[in-house]
């Protein structure tokens, strides 16, 4: 598939090929909408079903049933008639529903009548001392390498640290695969139980409960688990030691691989650049788009489905994608046949049950979200917590002004790995809320594009005449 082969207009453009995007594309294409799905990865599946069609892991027990559920979803989308383009990076989306996309080094601008953003989530920043050292990675990265390439940790000492369901899932997967995992440092704040407890009955009734319990049991039986309330990575050129505080005492552990995780947050860059209104979610400690029951946003024609609309997991993401697609079909072709939305909403409700418990229980520690001193906040421009805090105290009111002072958020990751930290630090220093502080102003291109790719855009005679003398 080349950029030149794309049509100039599609009824529906779906951005992201995880559960939400696959489910949305399948519903829309079956109902007769001309549908294209773009994903920047070499295959569909998103993060949860990464490499679902190509993983070298044949032993299905390693990744578990929840992973292999992605096969049916990918097959459904593949057979739906939707055009699925992988290796396709969407770098621009404007409020008029124009989409800029690059495929194999050539760019195109195409027009959509409806957009479903399904760009999912990314791991919450984990700004501790030494988190930029080689040898420190995210837990999600290790899971990606396991799913896509069948790579498992096999160093001298591997440590998994942080909080959240994915931490335990990855621990179980590494152990099942015969990988090396020496210690799990559980940084879940003990005080979280107070707020989580009232949601326990809902959690017990949810599908998460039995899965969660057996996962905890499986991991605890095979990996030493230590409760910690302080964590850093130490080394000059690479990770040498993990230093953690447990029961008031500091411990040092020689290690060559530290995998960090403290939950996932919506990947907001594309939706923000398109002008979609977002708000702060205090329970999940992140920004999320404001959406209605059909996942429509403040920008007419643009919906956000999946974890990008607020974290709820893969099964929920697929249901959200279906609802967003049904709404798109109804708007464009009221006579088209679509699945009944009611049972989908019921499944959605059932799946969302128990989420409040998980959110409150695994809410990451303040000190692991709002660092101090020389801890790097912005990895790209190497800006420290002290610099951000001092500048906020000087009178800098928001993340955009902070860019002018410190360049934080202006490196290649475009704030993805520092945005939430900078917002929370400014709010803490200025005694206000993250909602009031806001987030970085994001503009296209939301992914890097070369001048060569831009120059490859097809040009009309009128456009040429406008610049030629």
Partner 1 sequence: MFKRLVEGGTAVTLTVDGTPVEARAGDSVAAALLAAGIGHCRTTPVTGAPRAPYCLMGVCFDCLVTIDGVGSRQACLVPVRDGMTVESQQGKREAGR
> What is the closest distance, in whole angstroms, from the C-beta atom of residue 253 to partner 1 in the complex?
16
Q: According to CB under 8 A, which one of 170, 270, 416, 425 is a site residue for partner 1?
A: 416
Q: Give the shortest CB-134-to-partner 1 separation in angstroms.
A: 4
If 0-12 CB within 10 Å is exposed, 13-18 middle and 19+ buried, where does residue 336 land? middle
Query: Which residue's entry shows tokens 């009309």?
Result: 460
Contacts with partner 1, 158-177, as mask; x by CB under 8 A: -------------------x
Closest distance of CB 265 from partner 1, Å: 11
Span of 36-44, 106-114, 211-219, 335-343 interacting with partner 1 by CB under 8 A: 36-44
Close Cβ partners of 247 (under 8 Å, ≥ 6 residues apart): 227
Judging by beta carbons within 10 Å of its beta carbon (0-12, 13-18, 19+), is residue 12 exposed, middle or buried? buried
Restricted to residues 222-251, the positions that interact with partner 1 (CB under 8 A) are 237-238
Minimum CB separation of residue 242 from partner 1 in Å reads 14
Is the CB of 146 or the CB of 311 nearer to partner 1? 146
Print burial letters for 76-97: b (CB count within 10 Å at least 16), e (below 16). Answer: bbeebbbbbbbebbbbbbeeeb
Nearer to partner 1, 178 or 224 (CB): 178
Question: Which of 200, 253, 331, 413 touches partner 1 (CB under 8 A)?
Answer: 413
Q: Which stretch binds partner 1 (CB under 8 A): 55-63, 183-191, 339-347, 395-403?
A: 55-63
Count CB neighbours of 295 within 10 A: 27
Residues 34, 80, 92, 138: which binds partner 1 (CB under 8 A)? 138
Environment class of residue 253 by beta-carbon count within 10 Å: exposed (0-12), middle (13-18) or buried (19+)? middle
Stretch that binds partner 1, among 143-151, 189-197, 277-285, 367-375 (CB under 8 A): 143-151
Q: In whole angstroms, what is the distance from residue 168 CA to residue 186 CA?
A: 10
Phi first, then psi, for residue 105 (nearest 5°) are: 85, 5
- Using CB under 8 A, which of 83, 136, 270, 304 touches partner 1? 136
Q: Is 151 in the site for partner 1 (CB under 8 A)?
A: yes
Binding test (CB under 8 A) with partner 1, winner from 5, 42, 346, 433:
42
Does the footprint of partner 1 cover residue 401 (CB under 8 A)?
no
Binding residues among 364-393 for partner 1 as defined by CB under 8 A: 379-382
Q: Does 152 bind partner 1 (CB under 8 A)?
A: yes
Q: Tokens standing for 343?
A: 């049972």
Among 155, 201, 224, 300, binds partner 1 (CB under 8 A): 155
Cα gap 395→266, rounded to integer Å: 29
Asked if 451 is part of the footprint of partner 1 (rule: CB under 8 A), the reply reads: no
* Span of 148-156, 295-303, 316-324, 423-431 interacting with partner 1 by CB under 8 A: 148-156
Distance in Å from the first CA to the final CA of the chain: 36
Backbone angles phi, psi at 309, to 5 degrees: -95, 15
Read off the tokens for 64.
């578990």
Instruction: Rule CB under 8 A: say whether 412 interacts with partner 1.
Output: yes
Tokens at residue 159, please? 């440590």
Site for partner 1 contains 148 (CB under 8 A):
yes
Interaction of residue 153 with partner 1, rule CB under 8 A: yes
Q: Are 88 and 15 in contact (CB under 8 A)?
A: no
Q: CB 439 → partner 1: shortest distance, Å? A: 15
SS3 231: strand
Restricting to residues 71-90, name those near partner 1 by CB under 8 A. 89
Closest CA to 90 of 134, 38, 141: 38
Query: Which of 74, 122, 324, 442 contacts partner 1 by CB under 8 A?
Result: 122
Q: Is 69 exposed, middle or buried (0-12, 13-18, 19+ CB in 10 A)?
A: middle
Q: Report how far residue 159's alpha carbon sits from residue 233's, in angstroms, rounded to the nearest whole number.
A: 11
How far apart, in Å, are the Cα atoms of 391 and each of 280, 406, 469? 23, 8, 49
Among 267, 297, 391, 421, contact with partner 1 (rule: CB under 8 A): 267
The reply to whether 53 sits near partner 1 by the rule CB under 8 A is: no
Number of residues that bind partner 1 (CB under 8 A): 51
Shortest distance in whole angstroms from residue 340 CB to partner 1: 35
Residue 129 within binding range of partner 1, rule CB under 8 A? no
- Can residue 411 be called a binding residue for partner 1 (CB under 8 A)? yes
Residue 257 binds to partner 1 (criterion: CB under 8 A): yes
Question: Of 271, 260, 262, 264, which is closest to residue 440 (Cα–Cα)?
Answer: 271
Q: Report the candidate in 421, 360, 425 with the shortest Cα–Cα distance to residue 188.
A: 360
Binding site for partner 1 (CB under 8 A): 40-42, 47, 51, 54, 56-58, 89, 122-123, 132-138, 140-141, 144-146, 148-155, 177-179, 237-238, 256-257, 267, 379-382, 411-413, 416-417, 448, 450
């Amino acid at each position: 598939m080349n950029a030149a082969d794309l049509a100039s207009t599609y009824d529906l453009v779906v951005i992201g090929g995880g559960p939400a995007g696959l489910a949305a594309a399948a519903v829309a294409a079956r109902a007769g909408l001309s549908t294209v799905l773009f994903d920047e990865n070499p295959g569909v599946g998103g993060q949860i079903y990464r490499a679902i069609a190509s993983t070298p892991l044949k032993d299905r027990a390693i990744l578990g049933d929840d992973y292999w559920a992605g096969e049916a979803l990918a097959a459904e989308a593949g057979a739906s008639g939707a055009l699925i383009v992988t290796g396709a990076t969407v770098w621009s989306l404007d409020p008029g529903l124009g989409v800029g996309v690059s495929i194999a080094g050539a760019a195109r601008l195409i027009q959509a009548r409806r957009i479903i953003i399904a760009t999912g989530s990314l791991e919450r920043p984990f700004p501790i001392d030494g988190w930029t050292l080689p040898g420190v990675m995210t837990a999600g990265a290790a899971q990606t390498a396991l799913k896509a390439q069948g790579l498992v940790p096999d160093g001298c000492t591997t440590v998994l640290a942080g909080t959240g369901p994915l931490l335990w899932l990855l621990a179980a997967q590494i152990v099942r695969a015969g990988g090396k995992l020496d210690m799990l440092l559980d940084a879940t704040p003990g005080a979280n139980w107070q707020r989580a407890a009232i949601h326990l009955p809902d959690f017990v009734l949810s599908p998460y409960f039995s899965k969660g319990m057996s996962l905890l049991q499986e991991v605890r039986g095979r990996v030493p688990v230590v409760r910690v309330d302080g964590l850093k990575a130490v080394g000059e050129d690479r990770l040498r030691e993990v230093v953690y505080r447990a029961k008031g005492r500091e411990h040092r552990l020689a290690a060559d691989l530290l995998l960090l995780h403290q939950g996932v947050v919506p990947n907001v860059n594309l939706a923000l650049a398109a002008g979609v209104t977002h708000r702060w979610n205090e329970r999940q400690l992140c920004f999320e788009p404001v959406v209605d029951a059909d996942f429509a946003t403040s920008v007419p024609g643009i919906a956000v489905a999946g974890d990008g609309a607020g974290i709820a997991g893969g099964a929920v993401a697929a249901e959200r994608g279906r609802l967003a697609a049904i709404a798109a079909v109804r708007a464009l072709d009221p006579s088209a046949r679509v699945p009944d939305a009611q049972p989908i909403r019921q499944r959605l409700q059932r799946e969302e049950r128990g989420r409040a418990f998980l959110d409150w229980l695994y809410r990451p520690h303040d000190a692991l979200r709002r660092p101090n001193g020389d801890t790097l906040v912005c990895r790209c421009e190497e800006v420290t917590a002290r610099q951000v805090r001092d500048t906020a105290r000087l009178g800098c009111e928001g993340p955009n002004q902070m860019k002018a002072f410190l360049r934080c958020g202006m490196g290649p990751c475009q704030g993805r790995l520092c945005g939430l930290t900078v917002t929370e630090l400014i709010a803490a220093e200025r005694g206000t809320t993250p909602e009031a502080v806001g987030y970085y102003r994001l503009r296209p291109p939301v992914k890097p594009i070369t001048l060569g790719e831009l120059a490859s855009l097809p040009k009309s005679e009128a456009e040429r005449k406008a610049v030629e003398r």
